[in-house]
Amino acid sequence: MHTSYTVGVTTGQYKALQYVMVDQKEWIQNAIDARATAATKEITNRYTTYKVNKEEPITAIGSTAIITAAYNEGVIGIAT
């Protein structure tokens, strides 16, 4: 699965961003990647701790599988 986002900025915001960064799209991509990486680490830690505390094996392999298992087992939920 792949998800795309479209972000709109005003002309003034665009011009201001041109002053402080060379490539706005790359900056946004890096920000999203960094936040997703941090969330993945947090979820992995929470899920691992949850399974260890319940003395259950961790059968999910890979970050996507661990994130999915954490949702399915109620360890995490969608932010509201």
* Residue 49 located in a structural domain: yes
Mean pLDDT across the chain:
96
Residue 68: predicted pLDDT: 98
For 59, other C-beta atoms within 10 Å of its C-beta total 9
Q: Any residues with CB less than 8 A from the CB of 47 and at least 6 apart, and which?
A: 58, 60, 66, 69, 70, 73, 75, 76
Domain assignment of residue 2, yes or no: no
Q: Please state the pTM of the whole predicted model.
A: 0.85
Domain assignment of residue 25, yes or no: yes
| Amino acid 1: pLDDT | 74
Q: Which domain holds residue 36?
A: 11-72
Measured CA angle at 77 (ends 53, 38), to 5 deg:
80
Any domain includes 15: yes
CB 27 within 8 A of CB 21: yes
* Alpha-carbon span 55 to 52, nearest angstrom: 5
pLDDT of residue 77: 98
Tell me the pLDDT tens digit for each residue of 14-53.
999 999 999 999 999 999 999 999 999 999 999 999 999 9
Task: Let me know if residue 40 belongs to a domain.
Answer: yes
Tell whether 4 is covered by a domain.
Answer: no
Question: Amino acid identity of 61?
Answer: I
**Total tally of structural domains belonging to the chain:** 1
